[in-house]
């Protein structure tokens, strides 16, 4: 099984390549061939006829954003049916896979600090309790990060923008994550610690020094935490569309 953030990251890279191409049809055909999928297979997943796929690839139709998204989704669904071989290879080549990454999400709707506190079932443990809107989050397995990532790799996986919540799971006291942030060239907007019952006083002082809200998440487990983060945006988008 491939993590959801990885499927999203690959889909965005492919969709971006198609959009920026000088020839939409050639780009669509290229990615279909990369995934070794026939026009009939893609059409089946998309719920359209193979002739429609052919029209787009031959330039007789110009794809809009909705079509491109469904087309890319279909390629990834087909790869999933076959065991994710192409997605896994693309993830390696693009250097966007790590065991340390639990989830990464760029938010379509900005999240306020108080909303983040509520979603992660947290409390702010330092004196710095202000923050601009949050536009994404990255959930990291702290122990895997220590073993798996170099310093440069750690900050490369933060996401597209730094106005995000950096959420550390499997934390004991929070000292190591805050020391890493202290010496890092780029900083997140807010830090969340999941796991400790008590936060190291040094971690709190470092968060204050960096001007970062530090949240202790009391969520029952990591799966619950990630599910609630994912559900927040779905709720916001559905509320906006109603």
What is the domain-level CATH number for residue 125? 3.40.1390.20
Q: What does the pLDDT read at residue 154? A: 59
Tokens coding 44: 């089946």
Same domain, 200 and 184: yes
Give the SS3 label for residue 111: strand
pLDDT in tens, 114-168: 999 999 999 999 998 788 899 999 998 888 777 666 555 555 555 557 789 999 9
Q: What does the pLDDT read at residue 157? A: 59
Res 61 pLDDT > 80: yes
Q: How confident is the prediction for the chain on average, in pLDDT?
A: 87
Q: What does the pLDDT read at residue 58? A: 94
Tokens coding 153: 């790799």
Same domain, 109 and 165: yes
Mean pLDDT value of segment 39-56:
96
pLDDT band at 109 (very low <50, low <70, confident <90, very high): confident
Number of structural domains the chain divides into: 2
User: Measured over all CA atoms, what is the biggest interatomic distance in the chain, rounded to whole angstroms?
Assistant: 64
Same domain, 107 and 123: yes
Question: Last residue of a domain, which of 72, 93, 114?
Answer: 93
Structural domain including 69 reads 4-93
What is the C-alpha to C-alpha distance for residues 85 and 207, in angstroms, rounded to an integer? Answer: 41
Contact indicator for 191, 165 with CB cutoff of 8 Å: yes
**Would residue 59 be called left, alpha or beta, if left means φ above 0 and alpha means ψ between -120 and 50 degrees?**
left
Same domain, 77 and 174: no
Res 55 pLDDT > 70: yes
pLDDT in tens, 31-47: 999 999 999 999 999 99
Res 49 pLDDT > 70: yes
Give 7's contacts (C-beta < 8 A, 6+ positions apart). 76, 80, 87
pLDDT in tens, 69-103: 999 999 999 999 999 999 988 887 766 666 778 88
In percent, the amount of the chain with pLDDT more than 90 equals 59
Mean pLDDT value of segment 43-53:
96
Q: What does the pLDDT read at residue 196? A: 87
Same domain, 67 and 146: no
Query: In this structure, what are the phi and psi dihedrals at residue 167, rounded to the nearest 5 degrees?
Result: -110, 115
Q: What does the pLDDT read at residue 90? A: 86
Question: Last residue of a domain, which of 74, 93, 112?
Answer: 93
Q: How many other CB atoms are found less than 10 A from the CB of residue 4?
A: 13
Same domain, 13 and 108: no
pLDDT in tens, 195-219: 988 899 999 999 999 999 999 999 9
Res 240 pLDDT > 80: no
Q: What does the pLDDT read at residue 151? A: 57
Query: In this structure, what are the phi and psi dihedrals at residue 213, rounded to the nearest 5 degrees?
Result: -60, 135
Res 189 pLDDT > 80: yes
Query: In this structure, what are the phi and psi dihedrals at residue 240, rounded to the nearest 5 degrees?
Result: -70, -35
Q: What does the pLDDT read at residue 45? A: 96
Helices (H) and strands (E) in the chain, counts: 12, 6
What is the C-alpha to C-alpha distance for residues 121 and 137, in angstroms, rounded to an integer? Answer: 15
Same domain, 162 and 198: yes
Same domain, 160 and 226: yes
In percent, the amount of the chain with pLDDT more than 70 equals 88
Same domain, 86 and 175: no
Question: Last residue of a domain, which of 33, 62, 93?
Answer: 93
Q: Which of 164, 167, 163, 140 is nearest to 153 (CA)?
A: 140
Same domain, 44 and 130: no
What is the C-alpha to C-alpha distance for residues 141 and 125, in angstroms, rounded to an integer? Answer: 21
Contact indicator for 194, 220 with CB cutoff of 8 Å: no
CATH of residue 86's domain is 1.10.260.40
Same domain, 30 and 73: yes
What is the C-alpha to C-alpha distance for residues 120 and 171, in angstroms, rounded to an integer? Answer: 15
Same domain, 134 and 35: no
């Amino acid at each position: 099984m491939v993590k959801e953030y990885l499927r999203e990251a690959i889909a965005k890279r492919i969709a971006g390549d198609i959009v920026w191409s000088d020839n939409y049809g050639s780009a669509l055909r290229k990615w279909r061939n990369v995934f070794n999928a026939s026009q009939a297979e893609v059409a089946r997943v998309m719920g359209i006829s193979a002739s429609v796929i052919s029209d787009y690839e031959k330039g007789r139709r110009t794809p809009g954003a909705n079509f491109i998204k469904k087309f890319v989704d279909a390629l990834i669904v087909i790869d999933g049916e076959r065991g994710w071989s192409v997605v896994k290879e693309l993830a390696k080549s693009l250097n966007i896979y790590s065991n340390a990454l639990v989830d990464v999400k760029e938010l379509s709707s900005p999240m306020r600090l108080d909303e983040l506190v509520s979603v992660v079932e947290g409390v702010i443990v330092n004196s710095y309790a202000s923050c601009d809107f949050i536009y994404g989050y990255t959930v990291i397995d702290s122990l895997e990060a220590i073993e798996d990532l170099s310093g440069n790799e750690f900050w490369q996986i933060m996401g597209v923008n730094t106005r995000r919540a950096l959420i550390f799971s499997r934390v004991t006291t929070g000292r190591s994550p805050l020391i890493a942030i202290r010496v890092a060239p780029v900083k997140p907007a807010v830090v969340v610690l999941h796991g400790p019952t008590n936060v190291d006083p040094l971690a709190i002082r470092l968060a204050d020094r960096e001007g970062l809200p530090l949240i202790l998440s009391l969520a029952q487990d990591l799966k619950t935490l990630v599910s609630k983060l994912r559900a927040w945006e779905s709720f916001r988008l559905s509320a906006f569309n109603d």
